[in-house]
Amino acid sequence: MQCEYSAGPDKVTDSNEKITVWNSTTAVKCAVVLVITSFAVNVCIRFGYQHAAAGNHLRLHPYAPSVISMLLTATLWLSIGYLFLRPNSLAELVSELNLEVWPSVTGFVAGGIGIGIGAFTLFGVSRGWIAPNGTAHAFHNLGGPIWAFFVLHTIIIAPFYEETLLRGVLFKAFRGSLPLPPSATFVVAVQAYFHWTLFTRDSLAFLILISSGILLCVLQERTQNLWNCVLLHSAYNATVTRQLPVWLIIVVLLCTIKMGRGKEEAPQK
């Protein structure tokens, strides 16, 4: 397949279809925008907490800043990915990220690896090597809908938007002009920035984060299937929050839907 470069620095098109290939320059711009806007959101939340009227409301609902931050972060990450991909439609975005492809067998195996990494993390917590997750503990104590929201965010929402931007957008962009090792290094560096408190508080947890980030990049490189990365990420989160049954139910539902669709698409004899 012959390709020709268009006038834009980050576009490659062929004669058959429009293909957008990012380069490392565009990826760095995207990462910088992500860091700056995320920092601005955190500053705004802190300002609102200190403001008299808003602060009083937030102090009456101590979970509110975390919930607001989670929702804003998810919206922000997906919006930045959409902005930099510049799709003409949602269908084009789904195609660009290869989201129409279902998880492969490798993805479910990766989910098992995620469970193993999560189990090791819990073992580290039990031995005192890793500090327990204070945020998860606080939401668990609140119970009810707040805890249900946290579980939903941790197992489904966060793995999806983080993998969409980190592996689906940034990693793909860096791989447009860089080999695998530096591409994975840059993406994991961005990921580490958003978990920097682990480095200052918990070096073992930080090493697990870095190792998992590299593994996710390799998984995306080998399978070109973003859902495989989401499965691994989700399995790890479900394990460390002790909500593995929820993840298993999701996997069973996915397998059931996939089998049903396979029967519908099978040719009739």
pLDDT of residue 42: 78
Name 182's Cβ contacts closer than 8 Å, sequence gap at least 6. Answer: 174
- Other beta carbons within 10 angstroms of residue 259's beta carbon come to 10
CA atoms within 13 A on the CB side of 79: 10
User: What does residue 143 show for φ and ψ, rounded to 5 degrees?
Assistant: 65, -170
CB neighbour class for 242 (10 Å; exposed up to 12, middle 13-18, buried from 19): middle
Name 72's Cβ contacts closer than 8 Å, sequence gap at least 6. Answer: 41, 45
pLDDT of residue 268: 54
DSSP state of 19: E
pLDDT of residue 59: 57
Q: What is the dihedral of CA 167, 182, 26, 20, to 10 degrees?
A: -60
pLDDT of residue 215: 97
Between CA 29 and CA 83 the distance in angstroms is 12
- Other beta carbons within 10 angstroms of residue 48's beta carbon come to 16
pLDDT of residue 54: 55
* Strand ranges in the chain using DSSP code E only, listed in sequence order: 3-5, 12-14, 18-19
Report yes or no: 125 and 132 within 8 Å, Cβ to Cβ: yes
Report yes or no: 244 and 115 within 8 Å, Cβ to Cβ: yes
Give me the tens of pLDDT residue by residue for the chain, a chain 269 residues long. 333 333 333 444 444 444 455 688 888 988 999 999 888 887 877 776 666 555 555 555 666 777 888 888 899 999 998 888 888 888 888 888 888 888 889 999 999 999 999 999 999 999 988 888 888 888 888 888 889 999 999 999 999 999 999 999 999 999 988 999 999 999 999 998 888 776 667 788 889 999 999 999 999 999 999 999 999 999 999 999 999 999 999 888 888 877 766 555 555 54
Tokens of 97: 């990220």
pLDDT of residue 200: 67
Nearest by Cα to 228 from 252, 205, 251, 259? 251
